[in-house]
Amino acid sequence: MNQLPDIDIAIKDFISKAQEVVDEHYRNYQWDNILTINKGRRYEKIVSTDTLERPSSRVWAFIDKTNGDVLKPATWRAPAKHARGNLYDEFGGMKFIGPYGPAYMDTIKRKEKENESA
């Protein structure tokens, strides 16, 4: 598997921007959600962990290290099909990112259709 040479820098930049989105959403709550990276062979798994008394974790997104695609999780161990963005696009992979992770495909298609008609 070939990894892009500057993928680690791009991932750290993406995580920083994504954490800002999450922090903005949770600023009025009594807890925070912290995004961390679990390294894998092909995918970096981004995990969201809350800071409650009994913390819970969930997969927030996957990043394909071979091409920089940002993917929504299908399960704890695997990403869904179809990229929701790319670390190297004009938005840095952030166009369809919300506080709970990458958007569903129907949301992306609806937003793209609205932009075309506008």
Q: How does pLDDT run across 90-111, given as a tens digit for each residue?
A: 999 999 999 999 998 888 888 8
**Residue 108 included in any domain:** yes
Helix (H) or strand (E) holding 35: strand 33-38
The number of distinct structural domains making up the chain is 1
Name residues of the chain where pLDDT drops below 50: none
What pLDDT was estimated at residue 98?
Answer: 94
Rounded CA-CA distance 31/94 in Å is: 24
Q: Considering all CA atoms of the chain, what is the largest pairwise distance in Å, rounded to the nearest integer?
A: 47
**Residue 89 included in any domain:** yes
Radius of gyration, CA atoms only, the chain: 14
Contact, 4 vs 66, CB < 8 A? yes
Rounded CA-CA distance 13/102 in Å is: 16
What pLDDT was estimated at residue 118?
Answer: 67
**Residue 18 included in any domain:** yes
Residue 33 has φ and ψ, to the nearest 5°, of -120, 130
pTM: 0.88
**Residue 2 included in any domain:** no
**Residue 1 included in any domain:** no
What pLDDT was estimated at residue 86?
Answer: 96
**Residue 23 included in any domain:** yes
- Write out the residue range of the structural domain in which residue 88 sits: 7-117
Cα–chain-centroid distance for residue 48?
10
